[in-house]
Amino acid sequence: MKRKFSPLSAVSIVMVCVMLALSACSSSSNSPGQASAPSASAATTPAGGTASGATSEAPFEGWVEGLPKIEAPAGFNWRQFEGTKLNFISENTPPSSALAANIRIFEDATGIEVNIEQSNLDLVAEKVGLDFNAKNANYQIIYADPYQILTKHSRNLVDLNTFNNDPSLPHIPGGTEDFIESQLQADGYMGDTEHLYTLPYDSPTMVLAYRKDVFDKYKDQFMKEKGYDWTPSANLTWEQYYEIASWINEKVKAGVITEVKYGSGHEAKQHDALQCDFSNVLGAYGADYFEGENLGSVGAAKPGKSLLTSPEAIEAAKMYKKLLEVAAPGSTTWDWTGVAEAFAAGELAMAPIFHENNAMFEDETKSKVAGKVAWSVLPKGPKRSANLFGGTGIGISKYASEKEQKAAWLFLVWATSPQAQYMILKSKEAGSTPTRHSVYNLPDVQKGMEPGTEESKAMPNLLPMKAVLEAWKLENVYMRPKVPQWPQVDTIIYTELSKMLFNKQSPEDTMKTIAKKSDEITGA
C-alpha cells in the first residue's frame, strides 16, 4: 500500500530540521573557526621585561620622562597583526571618548583597527552577556564593569597573566604594581587573585563637591548661628551635612542666599545610582550588604547572609531618608548624570558626585560654577567616611581568535599604560583620572591638583584628586560586593530604597525587605 504524503507531516519534518539545525549552531561552542583561549596560567605577574632582558621601545607617541615605557621583546614586530579589526564595547565614559579621539596613535603604530562602541552601562552588560552566551566574540575587548559584568562573566574573559607572562609579547608597562592596588583587586580579579581578567582603566569615585564661593561667603554667619566651621573636610559628619543643607534651604527661602537654590542634591532616582548614593552612608555607619569576606576586593560566588537587618544598617537607612527629605526635590529624578548637571547649573551648594564630573564643572560652556567648585571626602558616620569607588577594567573575550586576542592584548597594554592614561587625562575630552601611581608622581600632575595653576586648567579632573586620593585610602574607600547575583540584588536595593523615600515603607522594613529578598536570590 502506498503511503500518503501528508502536508502536515512534511511541515513538521521541516520544522524539526530547522530547530535541530539552529540548536546545533547554538551549541557548537568549540567550532573550528573559533580558537579557544590559551590556557590560563596561575603564575604571578612580572613587572615586565623578558627572559633575555633585551627589549625594544614601543612606537607609540606620548611618552614623557618619569613614566614607565611600553616595551616589547627585542625585535618584536608591532605590526604583525596589521589589518586585524577589533571591537571595543564600553560604557559612554570620558576615558573612552578620549581614547576614541586619540585611537589614531595606536592604529598608526600597529595597523590594528579599533572600533570603540559606547553605550550606557545596562546596554553594555546586555550586549556582552548575549555575545558571551552565543560564544561569538563580536566584541573582542570588553569594558568589564566589576559588578555587572566581571562577576557574572569572568570565565568568559581571557586570563591576562597568559599574555603578561608570555616572553614573546609586550608586558604591562611598570608591572601590575603600578596600578593602585585596591583598584586592581576590585577591577581585575574575581574570586581569587590567581587569574587576572582585566586591567584597571578608569577610576570614578564619589566624593563631596561643594560651592566654595557659598561656603566662604556665609561661613561666619553659619559659625555664629551653629557654632562650628562648616567647611567640608574629613571631619564633617552626615549629621552636620544634614544640618548645613537644612540651614542653606532656610536661607534660600528667606532670600539670604541667592547663589544656589538648594543646600544639597543626591542621585536618588530608582536606578543603580541610588544604591551608589546610599552605599556611602551605609559604609559610613559601619554596615555592609553581606557577611562574606573580601567581597569588595576579589569578590566571591557566595556572599553569605545579608547584613542589612543590623542596627547599623537601619540607622544608615534612617539617616539616608533624612538626608533626602532636605535634598533638592529633583533628586528623585536624578541619576549620576542628573545630579552633576544640576550642580553644574548652579542649583546645589553640595552633593556627593563622581569626581570625573569636574571637567564639566570647570567648562564654562557647560557650567555656571566654573572656578567655584571645591572637593572633600564624603562626610563620616559613626564608623568612618565611605566613598564609593566606581572604576572598571578592560579585558579580552575568550571567544576571540588567538590572533584577535593577541592584537587586543597590544591594545590593553597601550590603553592602560601610564602614557595613555596621562594622554587621556590631558585630552580635550577631559577624560578619566589615571589608575597608575606613576602618573600621579609626575610634577605637572602634582601641580594640577592645586587650584588656580595652569596645570589644573589644562587637566581639570585633577582638582578633586586630593580628596579622591584621600578617598582611595583603604580606611575611606567603599567597594560594593562583587557577587554574581549583584544585578538582581542591586535592583532590589534601589527599588526598595525608592519606596522608602516615598514613605511607602519605614527604613526598618526597607532593610528587612532587602535582606529577605537578597537572601532568596543568593540562596543564603
Partner 1 sequence: MPQWTRTIDRASAAAAAVRPHKRAKWNRTEFWMLLPSMIVLALISIFPFFFMIYASLMDYSLSLDEPVFAGLDNWRRILTSETFWHSWGRTAVFGVSGLVLQLAVGVLVALLMYYIPKGRNLILTLWMLPLFVAPVVAGLLWKYLLDPTYGLYDWVLKQFGLNTQILGDVSTAMPAIILMDIWEWTPLITLIVLAGLQSVPTEPLEAAEVDGASGLQKIRYILLPMVRRMIVVSLLIRSMDILRYVDTITITTEGGPADSTKTIGYYLMQVAFRFQDMGTAAALGLTMLVVTIIMGNFFVKIMKKGED
Q: Which residues contact partner 1 by CB under 8 A?
A: 5, 7, 10-11, 14-15, 18-19, 22, 27, 29, 122, 125-126, 129-130, 132-133, 152-153, 269-271, 328-334, 338, 341-342, 345, 347, 484, 487-488, 491, 495, 498-499, 501-502, 504
Helix, strand or coil, per DSSP, at residue 295: coil
Residue nearer to partner 1 on the CB measure, 30 or 44: 30
Min dist. Cβ of residue 249 to partner 1 (A): 13
Residue nearer to partner 1 on the CB measure, 7 or 53: 7
The residue whose grid cell reads 580606611 is 475
Do the Cβ atoms of 188 and 198 come closer than 8 Å? yes
Element (H, E) at 101: helix 94-101
Residue nearer to partner 1 on the CB measure, 19 or 54: 19
129 residue type, one letter? G
- Residue closest to 267 by CA, chosen among 352, 327, 205, 335: 335
- Residue closest to 244 by CA, chosen among 266, 258, 229, 259: 229
Q: Given phi > 0 = left and psi -120 to 50 = alpha, else beta, which region is 191?
A: left
Min dist. Cβ of residue 446 to partner 1 (A): 35
Distance CA 184, CA 172 (A): 13
Min dist. Cβ of residue 236 to partner 1 (A): 25
- The secondary structure of 169-184 as a DSSP string is S---TT-GGGB-HHHH
Residue nearer to partner 1 on the CB measure, 22 or 42: 22
The residue whose grid cell reads 557577611 is 291
Residue nearer to partner 1 on the CB measure, 100 or 521: 521
Can you say whether the dihedral through the CA atoms of 484, 486, 492, 493 is positive or negative?
A: positive
Residue nearer to partner 1 on the CB measure, 10 or 43: 10
The C-alpha cell at 486 is: 549583584
- CA 153, chain centre distance (Å): 16
Min dist. Cβ of residue 207 to partner 1 (A): 21
Residue nearer to partner 1 on the CB measure, 270 or 280: 270
- CA 315, chain centre distance (Å): 27
Residue nearer to partner 1 on the CB measure, 398 or 406: 398
Min dist. Cβ of residue 496 to partner 1 (A): 9
User: From the CB of residue 474, how many other CB atoms can be counted at a distance below 10 Å?
Assistant: 9
Min dist. Cβ of residue 133 to partner 1 (A): 4
Residue nearer to partner 1 on the CB measure, 282 or 489: 489
Min dist. Cβ of residue 72 to partner 1 (A): 35
DSSP state of 150: I
- CA 334, chain centre distance (Å): 18
Min dist. Cβ of residue 191 to partner 1 (A): 13
Distance CA 194, CA 189 (A): 8
Min dist. Cβ of residue 176 to partner 1 (A): 26
